[in-house]
Structure 1
Amino acid sequence: METLDAYDLNILQHLQQDGRLTNTELAQRVGLSAAPCWRRVRALEQAGFIRGYRAEIDRHKIGLGVLAFVRLDAAHIGGQAVRQLESAIRARPEIVNCHYISGSGTFELQVVSPDLETFSRFAREVLLNLPNVKDMHTSFSLGEVKASGALPLEHLRTRTRD
């Protein structure tokens, strides 16, 4: 599966909005019968377009009121040193996202914590002691304007196969 048609895009759009749709509900919404819809969803999963399904949890309701954006500067940018840092980052559940970035810094992390005191302890005891960390800069979220994991698909609609 290299290209997506209008049905595939509609399936992706609906599943992004509600991953708990039954196959019957999904098929009805996209204008297919159940069997072809199920085959398309499986094909999208096997091709890697759909990587998984999960619940979207309100971090505030589970006591994670602090969201910090942490820029880590690596001491060394090559080979094993960076791989060790990547591995250490992946192992920490408090780090919910990590990206290589351009400009100053090497990694941009999103870190959640119950409160500022807990974050401060985590930063001092864990983040600054990760392998290959040279420096750290932190900013805090003062409020979310938009927090959606849904990806835009409109740019694909002009390139679809029919």
Structure 2
Amino acid sequence: MSQRPSTSTADLDRFDIAILGVLQNDARISNADLAAAIGLSAAPTWRRVRRLEELGVITGYRAEIDRRKIGLGVLAFVRVDTERDNADTTRALEDAIRQWPEVTACHYISGAGTFELQVLVTDLDAYSRWTMETLFKLPNVKDLHTSFSLGEVKSGGALPLGHLSPAPQHGDTP
């Protein structure tokens, strides 16, 4: 397993931050248009994007798909309570969760519960089948608590970048 070089916000200058902002809004933008948007020429802009990818700051590019238009009408938030006293079983559960395409996000959580899952399925019957055929078959799952989305106010938004302050510049050169 190769490790990416570590980076910190101090490693990002104003051009890097601008690149991140533009690409979050339009990852299909051409390099020439990206360069014009951030005020650099094409070659250094391309090198900066490659560097951000190599550092793991940019982790990929994806299409945003309207889930409803492809038949995924139910969005559920599922708190999974598990036995926390067995690290091997918890790792097995993590591995299983990573394999389930219905789970679009999973977080360890504080307070009650162990995991919070974001699950997309076609309808309530599909959700019921999915829980019975997947979650409840795992040995350390004690309980589930599900909340269903009644409507999306905001989804798939860009990450906030306002907290990033550019690294000090020597002559402000690219």
Bin for the TM-score computed over the shorter chain:
over 0.9
Q: 1:111 aligns with which of 113, 119, 124?
A: 119
Other structure's SS at 1:155 match: coil
Within the alignment, does 1:17 sit opposite 2:17 as a pair? no
Read off the aligned partner of 1:76 and give its amino acid letter. Answer: R
Other structure's SS at 1:90 match: helix
Residue deviations 1:65-100 (CA, integer Å, cap 9, x gap): 100000001123432111000001111100110000
Residue deviations 1:95-129 (CA, integer Å, cap 9, x gap): 11000000000000000000111111111221211
- Which residue of structure 1 aligns with residue 4 of structure 2? none
- Conservation of the 8 A alpha-carbon contact between 1:88 and 1:130: no
- Conservation of the 8 A alpha-carbon contact between 1:88 and 1:131: no
Stretches of 4+ moved more than 6 A in 1?
A: none
* C-alpha distance in 2 between matches for 1:119 and 1:156: 40
- Which residue of structure 2 aligns with residue 63 of structure 1? 71
* C-alpha distance in 2 between matches for 1:131 and 1:48: 35
Other structure's SS at 2:67 match: coil
* C-alpha distance in 2 between matches for 1:131 and 1:41: 44
Read off the aligned partner of 1:8 and give its amino acid letter. Answer: D
* C-alpha distance in 1 between matches for 2:102 and 2:68: 14
- Which residue of structure 2 aligns with residue 78 of structure 1? 86
1:148 CA drift (Å): 2.6
1:8 CA drift (Å): 0.4
- Conservation of the 8 A alpha-carbon contact between 1:82 and 1:132: yes
- Which residue of structure 2 aligns with residue 93 of structure 1? 101
Read off the aligned partner of 1:161 and give its amino acid letter. Answer: P
Read off the aligned partner of 1:21 and give its amino acid letter. Answer: I
1:144 CA drift (Å): 0.3
> Structure 2 length as normaliser, TM-score?
0.88
Read off the aligned partner of 1:60 and give its amino acid letter. Answer: R
Distance 1:81 1:8, change over 3 A: same
- Which residue of structure 2 aligns with residue 6 of structure 1? 14
* C-alpha distance in 2 between matches for 1:131 and 1:97: 21
Distance 1:110 1:9, change over 3 A: same
- Which residue of structure 1 aligns with residue 168 of structure 2? 161
**How many equivalent residue pairs?**
161
- Conservation of the 8 A alpha-carbon contact between 1:71 and 1:138: yes
Report the identity percentage.
Answer: 60
* C-alpha distance in 2 between matches for 1:150 and 1:60: 20
Within the alignment, does 1:152 sit opposite 2:160 as a pair? yes
5 Å matches for 1:27-46? 27-46=35-54
Bigger shift: 91-100 or 117-126? 117-126
